[in-house]
Amino acid sequence: MANLKCLENFVPSEGNVYSEAEMRNINIKILKERGVSVDDIAQLSYWAQSKYLDSLTIEEMRESVLEILGKRDQFHAILLGVQIDVLAEKGMLDNPLLNILTHDLGLFGLDEAIAISIAGNYGQIGVTNFGNMDVNKPGKISLLQKDKNRCNCFLDDIVGAIAAVAAIRVAQRHAIAKATGQLNI
């Protein structure tokens, strides 16, 4: 039996390489099973960026989150991080790791390391934007951390990193549009 219901009948491809559409589809299903929607992440991205961009819309952030969810690094981070969270939740890891994860020990740090590896793909601004999410824990990030019925040790940081990166992508598009006058944003 699969650890995640949404992957129960999943047949891996021979080369283990998936298209952006496949990765996006799997990511959305896994996140949904763990209680996170695309809109939840879009709201976090909006929280990060709306103070800098007057014309920003949630729809724009949603589209950016969907784009980011199709990328391979994010796909691998979600697969790995969520799988560890679920194994911890089921008590299927040994101590001391099991207790460290189920108590979300602040000194653990490898959950943030995976998130930073995603955020770092978008430069230092990606890392600082993730840091903002990690310190302030807006909306869904705080809810994931406070959920006593689940282990979201890796998920909260991965969600924060995806939101941070999606926000930067939109900020860069706005900056280019403003500089070139090419896009009507």
Positions in the binding site for Mg ion (CB under 5 A):
111, 153, 156-157
Least distance to Mg ion, CB of residue 167, Å: 19
Task: Specify the residue, 89 or 156, whose C-beta has the smaller distance to Mg ion.
Answer: 156
C-alpha span between 130 and 136 (Å, rounded): 10
User: Tokens at residue 15, please?
Assistant: 């080369």
Least distance to Mg ion, CB of residue 59, Å: 29
Least distance to Mg ion, CB of residue 101, Å: 9
DSSP 123-134: -HHHHHHHHHHH
Least distance to Mg ion, CB of residue 176, Å: 33
For 41-73, letters b (16+ CB in 10 Å) and e give bbbbbbbbbeeebeebeeebbbbbbbebbbbee
Rama region for 82: left / alpha / beta (φ>0; ψ in -120 to 50; rest) = alpha
**Residue for token pair 């976090």:** 44
- Judge contact between 23 and 72, C-beta under 8 A: yes
Task: Specify the residue, 87 or 177, whose C-beta has the smaller distance to Mg ion.
Answer: 87
Query: Closest residue (Cβ) to Mg ion?
Result: 111
Least distance to Mg ion, CB of residue 108, Å: 8
Task: Specify the residue, 89 or 111, whose C-beta has the smaller distance to Mg ion.
Answer: 111
C-alpha span between 69 and 78 (Å, rounded): 10
Task: Specify the residue, 154 or 170, whose C-beta has the smaller distance to Mg ion.
Answer: 154
Report which residue type is found at 156. Answer: D
Task: Specify the residue, 114 or 171, whose C-beta has the smaller distance to Mg ion.
Answer: 114
